[in-house]
A and B are shown apart, each in its own frame.
Chain A
Amino acid sequence: MPPILFWFLATLAVLAALGVVMQSNPVHCLLALVLTLLAIAVLFIGQGAVVVGFLQAIVYAGAIMVLFLFVIWLLNVPVESGSTGRLAAKFLGAVGVAALLAELEVFWVPSHLQVKAAGQVAGYGAIDALSQTLFSEYLVAFEITSVLLLVAVIGAVALARRTTDAETQQRPENSARTEKAA
């Protein structure tokens, strides 16, 4: 990947990430997050992880963020106005983040980073290589992930649906009311 492309994408990703945390309108935050995700997807593709890069665009930017968008509209989330106080917490948070960043920098600059660099074989990142590894070494994790997705779907539907009147009556805190009425 040519360095100029990397610097462009890195700048884009960082600016968009800053946009996510600093915008007041949640829909603008979401669009900035989509931009970050797409920049990271292109970074993936540039390093040879082609399938995972496209999957990032399809799954993350194309599906999960649309879900976020729908929830923002459903809840009619208001635009945040001004500062909400608690300045001490924000100051300490900023200090903590600066400390985290400094620590990550110290430990990840490559004089400490002992990585066995190896070349990429032909077909690295193509769907053949990914599926070979996925379905041989990580087969159990794959199956458990499918169960996880099923459970997540059931859980999300169960949590977010509106309870019918009969079910609301069955709750213990509502039975006192019916006893009084009867």
Chain B
Amino acid sequence: MVQLSWLMELSAAIFAIGVAGFLARRNILVMFMSIELMLNAVNLAFVSLGSRMGTMDGQVIVFFVMTVAAAEAAVGLAIIISIFRNRQTVNADDLTLLKW
């Protein structure tokens, strides 16, 4: 019998790893992948809770999160391509134009 707490702890662990990756890595694409990790951790939490409560709401919300993640990935990657065309870098440390 899989406990709900195990699933929630797994979700928390993956979320924390995603946060660590986002803060520690400087390559924009790897930061983007860490964002996707965080989204997936949240999806796991939604589905686990929904399945424990016997309702379909968790899965529907995951459906929407997946769609929004797809849209966000498309637009974000387009932005990264534009940045690369202008700055020739994908290192977040080099994008300091707005720094005072």
Contact = CB atoms under 8 A, between A and B. Distances in A.
A–B contact (CB under 8 angstroms): yes
Interface of A: 1, 3, 6, 10, 13-14, 17-18, 20-21, 26, 29-30, 33, 36-37, 40, 43-44, 46-49, 51-52, 55-56, 59-60, 63-64, 67-68, 71-72, 74-75, 77, 80, 84, 86, 89-90, 93-94, 96-97, 100-101, 104-105, 108-110, 113, 115-121, 124-125, 129-130, 132-134, 137-138, 141, 145, 148-149, 151-153, 155-160, 162
B88 to A, nearest CB: 9
B14 A133 contact: no
Interface residues of B, number: 73
B100 interface: no
Given A14-B17, A104-B15, A155-B75, A20 B34 contact: yes
Given A37-B40, A84-B93, A108 B12 contact: yes
A93 B70 contact: no
A17 B47 CA distance: 19
Given A36-B14, A56-B66, A156-B75, 10 more contacts: A21-B18, A49-B59, A49-B62, A67-B73, A108-B8, A115-B49, A116-B53, A120-B51, A145-B64, A152-B70
A24 B93 CA distance: 16
B29 A36 contact: no
Interface of B: 1-10, 12-21, 23-27, 29-30, 32-34, 36-37, 40, 43-44, 47-60, 62-64, 66-75, 77-82, 84-85, 90-91, 93
A21 B13 contact: no
Contacts of A44: 43-44, 47, 62
B63 A134 contact: yes
Contacts of A63: 70
A68 B68 CA distance: 16
A49 B37 contact: no
Contact of B30 (A17, A26, A47): A26
B37 A52 contact: no
A43 B44 contact: yes
Contact of A64 (B16, B30, B36, B59): B36
A52 B27 CA distance: 31
Contact of A21 (B25, B51, B74, B84): B25
Given A43-B44, A60-B69, A152-B71, A68 B78 contact: no
